[in-house]
Amino acid sequence: MATIEKRNGVDGSVNYRVRVRLRGFPPQTASFQRLTDAKKWVQQTESAIREGRHFKTVESRKHTLKEAIDRYIQSVLPSKKFNSQKDQRQQLQWWSDNIGYLSLADVTPAIIAEQRDKLAQGKTARGDRTNATVNRYLAILSHLFTVSVKEWGWSHDNPVLKVTRLKEPRGRVRFLSDDERARLLEACKKSESEYLNTVVVLALSTGARKMEILGLKWKDVDLVRGIITLHETKNGERRVLILTSLALDLMKQHAKLRTLHCDLVFPAKSFDKPIDLTTPWETALKRAGIKDFRFHDLRHSAASYLAMNGASLAEIAEILGHKTLSMVKRYSHLSEAHTSKVVAKMNEAIFGI
C-alpha cells in the first residue's frame, strides 16, 4: 500500500511525500517535485520489494567500497597466509585510494575496467606493471565482492566477474645450463653468507620456493628419514621435500651449527625472523657472471632437470606442489627424449618392430 501526500512549501513550491508500506517489510519513503515521478517510484519500489531486489540495493547504497575494504582487511585478510597479506593489503589500499569513495552499488564493471586500464599503464619500483600483476589486483577485489555478497549481504552481485582479465604471457622457463650451475654454486660456496650455498642447493634439489626454504623450522626437518615437511604452502596443502645427496649432507652439517634457542633453520642475526639473502644472492650472480636470472628460476631449473631426466608432468607437479598439470606444461618440451622412448616402446609392442 502506498500513500502520496502533497506538501506546499513556504516559498510556494510543491513536493510530494511518498510512503510505501508492504506487510513484512519496513516502510520506504521518498520525496519528489513531480507527481508523475512519485507514482513511478511507487511502482518501481513495490515491484522491487516483491521480487526481493529492493533491500539488496539499499544495502549496497549504504556502504562505500572503502568501508568494505576496511572490513575485509580486519576480518578476512588475517586468515590468509602471512606471505600474501602484505601484497593484498597494498592492492586493496590502491582500490580504496582510487574509487573507495563510491558506494558498492556504484562500483560497476565499466568503472572497474577503467581502473584496470589505469593499473596497466602504471609503474612499480621494478618498472612497468605486468598484466599478471594487474590481474592480481582484480582477483583480490573480486574476492572482496564475493564475501560481500555471500557473507555480509552488502552487495547483490560481483561486478568484477564481468570484467575481462588481461592476457598473461606464457610461463617463464629460465633454467641454469650445466656451466651456469657450476659457476653459481662455486660463487655461493665463496659467499660471505654462511647460509646461501645450502639454501641454493635446497632450491635446486627440491624445487621449493624461496620463502618455503627461508621459513623452515627445525621441528619440520627429519634428517634421519631425509625429509622436510612444509605445512604452509602456496596452494594451502601440506607438502614433503625429499632430501638426498648434497642437499642432505649440507643440512646435516648445518644442523651441527644450529642455535638451540631458535627453531628457525635460517635465522637472521636477531633470531626472530628468517635471514634476508637478497644481497648475498645478487652478489653471487654477479660473481658467477649470470644474467636474467631470479631466485625463483632455481625452482624452474629443478623442474627442468626433472623433465630432462625422464620425470612425467604428473611427477613434476607432485614434487613442486601444483594441483593441476597446467602449471607444469611449460616443461613438456624438455622431456621429448623421454616421450620418444615411450612412443617407440608402444610402437614396438603393437607393430612388433
Kindly state the DSSP code that residue 264 receives in the 8-state scheme.
B
SS3 239: strand
What pLDDT sits at residue 137? Answer: 94
Distance CA 25, CA 265 (A): 61
Q: Which residues contact 317 (CB under 8 A, 6 or more apart)?
A: 323, 324, 325, 327, 328
C-alpha cell of residue 347: 610402437
Residue with cell 506538501: 7
- Shortest CA distance to 67 belongs to which of 110, 114, 99, 111? 99
What pLDDT sits at residue 43? Answer: 85
- Shortest CA distance to 141 belongs to which of 101, 86, 100, 182? 100
**Residues 226-260: tens digit of each pLDDT:** 888 887 766 667 788 888 888 888 989 988 888 87
Give 10-residue mean pLDDT values along the chain (353 residues): 81 83 73 84 78 62 90 89 81 93 90 92 78 91 93 88 84 77 91 91 86 88 87 72 86 86 86 88 92 86 78 72 60 52 56 54
Distance CA 170, CA 253 (A): 40
What pLDDT sits at residue 330? Answer: 58
- Shortest CA distance to 30 belongs to which of 2, 63, 59, 61? 2
**Residues 95-123: tens digit of each pLDDT:** 999 999 998 888 999 999 999 999 988 87
What pLDDT sits at residue 52? Answer: 63
